[in-house]
Amino acid sequence: MSVERIEETVGAGDTGVVAEAGTTTGAGVVAEVEIVTATAAVVTYYPVAPGVRLNVRSGPGTGYSIVRVLPEGSKVAIYCQTPGTTVSGPYGTSNIWDNIASGEFVSDAFVKTGSDGYVASRCAL
């Protein structure tokens, strides 16, 4: 008997089929089919304050090095948030720092989240 495995990669919201099929001698094909549904996390992008070129830092505070600068009109995805240096900006004074990529943080005081508190889970630093 020979066995073949066929897999199809699926994207968010797609349904794919994972099938295993084997042949038996003289009896035809025996097949098992399993339906697999993929779900993906929804990522929300938040605008940076208008007219601001925002420093992106290597950690949650002004004492961390600047790794890049976001241009005016940028939007950022917030993957997690953590407390750090207190900063005043267009959206108030806050000690919340937004993790926008691996090793990249911006002060929440410069990001329009619509909240004075946390809008994402706490980072595991």
pLDDT digits (tens, 9 = 90+) for 91-114: 999 999 999 999 999 999 999 999
In a domain, 123, yes or no: no
Asked if pLDDT for residue 8 goes beyond 60, the answer is no
Into how many domains does the chain fold? 1
Does residue 38 lie within any of the structural domains? no
Q: Is residue 53 part of a domain?
A: yes
Q: b vs e for 89-119, b when ≥16 Cβ sit within 10 Å of the residue's Cβ? A: bebeebebbbbbeeebbbbbbbbebeeeebb
Which pTM was predicted? 0.68
Residue 71 lies in a domain: yes
Its domain, for residue 69, covers: 45-110
The total number of residues written for the chain in this structure: 125
Tell me the pLDDT tens digit for each residue of 29-78. Answer: 554 545 555 566 778 999 999 999 999 999 999 999 999 999 999 999 99
